[in-house]
Amino acid sequence: TLCYSTAATPPVYTLCNSKNRTVRTLADNAGYAAEYAGAPVKEFFTISSDGNELNAYMVKPAGFDPSRRYPVIMWQYSGPGSQEVYNRWAMDWDIYAATQGFLVVCVDGRGTGGRGAAFRNIVYKQLGRYETIDQINAARHIASLPYVNPDAIGIA
């Protein structure tokens, strides 16, 4: 069985043979996709922090207008080995916040998972140091965008 999803595509489950050919689709979640058609979608990018490229996503408000300035919620965890920036289907609070007029940004700073041992272990015996630097650098970058209200950036 193979499961596939992206931030814009709900999970599709297929049964595959030994040559990785689809035998049949078990569930395509077409109804789910139709129900959420038009919902804000995560846009993936990277942000540089002290020479390190950090994975990030942004969810723009519903009806996004680039001439407006939006309040921002920065979602982050940054615990050792954690990872929040995934290209997979999830209708979470960040999508809801975007429907309420917020721009939501998430940045996986140094110490998070999915980038190898050296990237994850840089925070060893220094918890809080690089995570904080990376989120501050990310906030500065986000504040410089023309559609962001730099006086209305919060961290959750």
110-148 tens-digit pLDDT: 999 999 999 899 999 999 899 999 999 999 999 999 999
User: What is residue 1's predicted lDDT score, i.e. its pLDDT?
Assistant: 67
- Per residue in 83-93, pLDDT (tens digit) is 899 988 888 89
Helix, strand, coil shares of the chain, percent, nearest 5, are 20, 35, 45
pTM over 0.75? The answer is yes
Best CA proximity match to 132, nearest among 109, 156, 151, 105? 109
Question: What is the average per-residue pLDDT within 16-39?
Answer: 88
Same domain for 57 and 102, yes or no, is yes
Same domain for 5 and 69, yes or no, is no
Specify the number of domains making up the chain: 2
Question: What is the average per-residue pLDDT within 61-75?
Answer: 95
Range of the domain at 27: 1-37
Q: What element of type H or E holds 3?
A: strand 2-6
